[in-house]
Amino acid sequence: MPRLDTNRAAEMEVFVRVVELGGFTAAAREFRLTPSGVSKLVSRLEARLSARLLNRSTRQLQLTPEGQAFHVRAVRILAEISEAEREAAAGAAPRGHLRVNSNVVFGRRLVVPLVPEFLALHPEVTLDLVLSDMVIDLMQERADIAIRVGPMRDSGLMARRLGASRVVVVASPDYLARHGTPARVEDLARHRGIGWTFQRLRSAWPFRDGVSAAPPPVARAGDGDVARELALGGVGIARLAMFHIGPDIAAGRLVPLLEAFDPGDREDIHAVYLGQGGPLPARVRAFLDFLAERISVED
């Protein structure tokens, strides 16, 4: 049965302001309550949750680990409540601030060119677009949408599929002229590789029959564009998605290698977001629909 005597949103709001303002007295002034009243409200919240959220001393308040986790979620929930109220009052027109994180290459090549059109269609939306190949925590970074290339790691996220791209082992003609062309997977051990500065789900490259291998990295890149430039410069062998290097292969700037051992795997591309199937803010829904309508990667 619902607890009608508990205003959970009000409790969250008071708790969040106590944390942000650094004390009960400042929060009490804002809500026109007494400091003891605010303290009792937070204590009541802790009792209901059966968890201590704040460690109190005469001089300061400190969040417990449980308090830190609750604060992050409470901030997001309160923001969603405010957004829902604004959307209801405005007929659910997309508005407000949208935070998007994207894989660097995909973002530069496919998302950035679409931003002017999206903002022209939705003039009441503002946008933060951050390009990074690091896999971020959407809740921690307070991102609305993240575009990810590769296996889905977090089953707690909702996802909209944008396509898939074959992944190819490549090197420049200059590199092959100087170091030779690998004929078998085991030859990679004697070559020079281009790796990543961040952790990947799979460090070795997959090949047919369950075999995996990768050349020892002589250089590491922080994003796909840097890895591509290193490969074009003859530094070593790289493994990159076709949506990224297709034009380089067509122009002869990069040469596909070990195609007879290609496992045929493809990296899925998704726009992921929080939601668990519930209603989405109009700005988030509009951007997801916009991407799905204009982007379709199948190579």
How does pLDDT run across 43-63, given as a tens digit for each residue?
988 888 899 999 887 677 889
Assess contact for 255 and 268: CB atoms under 8 A.
no
Number of other CB atoms surrounding residue 19 within 10 Å: 22
Tell me the mean pLDDT in the region 81-90.
Answer: 66
Q: Which structural domains are found in the chain, ordered by start?
A: 8-89 (1.10.10.10), 96-163+268-298 (3.40.190.10), 165-264 (3.40.190.10)
Tell me the mean pLDDT in the region 87-104.
Answer: 78
Residue 150 burial class via C-beta count within 10 angstroms: exposed 0-12, middle 13-18, buried 19 and up: middle
Residue 168 burial class via C-beta count within 10 angstroms: exposed 0-12, middle 13-18, buried 19 and up: buried
- Model pLDDT, residue 5: 46
Cα 204 to chain centroid, rounded:
23
Please state, for a pLDDT cut of 90, what percent of the chain lies above it. Answer: 39
| Residue type, position 74, single letter | A
Number of other CB atoms surrounding residue 61 within 10 Å: 17
User: pLDDT category, 91, cuts 50, 70, 90?
Assistant: low
- Model pLDDT, residue 274: 80
- Model pLDDT, residue 3: 47
151 vs 166, more confident: 166
Q: pLDDT tens, 234-285?
A: 999 999 999 889 999 999 999 999 999 999 888 888 898 887 555 778 899 8
Assess contact for 234 and 174: CB atoms under 8 A.
yes
Cα 154 to chain centroid, rounded:
11
User: pLDDT category, 138, cuts 50, 70, 90?
Assistant: confident
Q: pLDDT tens, 213-228?
A: 999 999 999 888 999 9
Average pLDDT, the chain: 86
pTM exceeds 0.85, yes or no: no
